[in-house]
Amino acid sequence: MESTLDTTWKGWMVCGEQVTISPTADIPSPYRPRMARENLVKETLASVRPWEGSDGVIHTAHLAGKQFPLTVVPLAGQMPFWFKHIGHHARHVQLSPFVRLTRPVLTSKLTVELVGTVGRPKLVRAYPGEYTPPLPWMGSAEHAPGGVERSIEFWREHAYVLTDTNTEPGTATDRRAPSWFTTR
């Protein structure tokens, strides 16, 4: 059973403060603590500047000289496949769009999303590339920049890159899209 407690990891710091990581944090597995690309997240966290208030911050860093694959890409005319994403931890996980790529799309940018204050930062999302809104069915979409409407606009034009390990087995619906994707 997964832990329901926030955790801290040595070296995961923002503005001199230890970062806690929510057990439901949306962080692709290679970027999680003790995984191959954790140093990219640590480097990005170290570049976050202090912020005011308790709303947190969304910060994208350009990591010069480093390249890594995007996990979300434009649809570019492809029709997505629909699965439950293995990394989503909502109470009621719903379907997410996925596309197959023949070659990875690389980036040198990584985005972190923190909630709370500078004195008590909590990491809730970290991912390659520029800001990506949560999926429309996620509770956080309502409070994200642009709200649910912006989320719907974005996810009608983007999808996760399908890999061997990022979908829950047995959740494929082939091409049947949820209503938020098909209703305009």
Over residues 60-97, the pLDDT tens digits come to 999 999 999 999 999 999 999 999 888 887 778 889 99
pLDDT at 53: 93
The segment with the largest mean pLDDT, out of 18-22, 68-72, 172-176, is 68-72
What DSSP line would sit under the chain, residue for residue?
Answer: ----S-EEEEEEEETTEEEEEEEEEE--GGGSTTSTTHHHHHHHHHTPPP-SSSB-EEEEEE-TT--EE-SEEE-TTPPPEEE-BTT---TT---EEEE--SSPPEESEEEEEEEEETTEEEEEEEEESS--PPPTTSGGGGGSTTHHHHHHHHHTTEEEEP-SSSB-TT---TT---HHHH--
What's the whole-number average pLDDT of the chain? 90
pLDDT at 23 over 90: no
pLDDT confidence of 1, banded at 50, 70, 90? very low
The predicted model scores a pTM of: 0.90
Please tell me the predicted confidence (pLDDT) of residue 24.
Answer: 82
Dump pLDDT digits (tens) for 96-143.
Answer: 999 999 999 999 999 999 999 999 999 999 999 999 999 998 888 999
